[in-house]
Structure 1
């Protein structure tokens, strides 16, 4: 669904984007995440609920409290235990894009600044769950920080 929503020819309002992304997340939770959790699996997602809050809420201007209630109701209690925010200036992030930019990547720099501020706000509000990493570091260092944090969290959960 994400691939379809990012096509540049679609002209979607932040509300339509949010509802469609949330619908996709509900589908993911019902079809994959809940069954895997029931079997004791560890789940890794590259984007989840915080992305909707950052992009459509902070970036797109939807009311944060409303979007938060909608998202929490939609995914229920299936919330991440650990979230990594790879922090990078929007200018640097957009320079890293290879090939054709998708619809989100083509948005104004001000939008991307609001999205970044959104992710950092979420991380500041939930410091036990969110780990902010400097994404200007070499990939090997970022990988090491992530691996160490994941291993520590898994060890804490197994106690």
Structure 2
């Protein structure tokens, strides 16, 4: 394998991405590969500092365009410092969120326009797009209820948005799915956890088959 594979996991707040990534990593390892798990915004020191700024629940005055630019800046540094080197060395990178989050959250839910937000990110990513994206679909009501019941999770700025905003995020992901149906696969994240894990592992297994 000369070039690695780039797998991303997407979904609204409380969709269960952390658990889903554990299932993906387990399946990849069963295929004899050693994946790298990372996240956005974050994954490396500079991007983690940007994450702290953009998700700080005290920063309610943040302008939507500023938010979009900060995410794109964190994405660029993360790509150049961690993701691209790993892919070029033949590794499998599994990332919690990528460009689709910006399209759904800032492009659609914030009303900046998905094409406009993609243009910002096109400059940042230089053509590096996911090979496979798993979209964990969950209703905002269910996702937010999960967050509130998790006492170990600190509420970030996005968690505190109104229900209407989170519904727009879900609608934005529907548009992402329509635009990129060749790489995005939807998973019903309201199923029992074992069923979600089973579906994820089946999709990853089938996708990797013949590629490694």
TM bucket by the smaller chain?
over 0.9
Cross-structure match for 1:60: 110
| Distance in structure 2 (CA, Å) of the matches to 1:93 and 1:153 | 27
Cross-structure match for 2:183: 129
Q: Which has the higher helix share?
A: 1
Cross-structure match for 2:127: 77
Deviates more, 1:127-136 or 1:24-33: 127-136
2:86 aligned with 1:5:
no
- 1:110 equivalent among 139, 157, 164: 164
CA-based RMSD: 1.2
| Distance in structure 2 (CA, Å) of the matches to 1:128 and 1:157 | 16
Shift of 1:156: 3.6
Unaligned runs of 5+ in 1: none
Specify the SS of the correspondent of 2:86: helix
Shift of 1:148: 1.4
Runs of 4+ in 1 over 4 A off after TM superposition: none
Cross-structure match for 1:153: 207
| Distance in structure 2 (CA, Å) of the matches to 1:17 and 1:156 | 40
| Distance in structure 1 (CA, Å) of the matches to 2:92 and 2:193 | 23
Q: Which structure's relative contact order is higher, taking Cα pairs within 8 Å and 6+ residues apart?
A: 2
Shift of 1:84: 1.0
| Distance in structure 1 (CA, Å) of the matches to 2:119 and 2:210 | 29
Shift of 1:74: 1.0
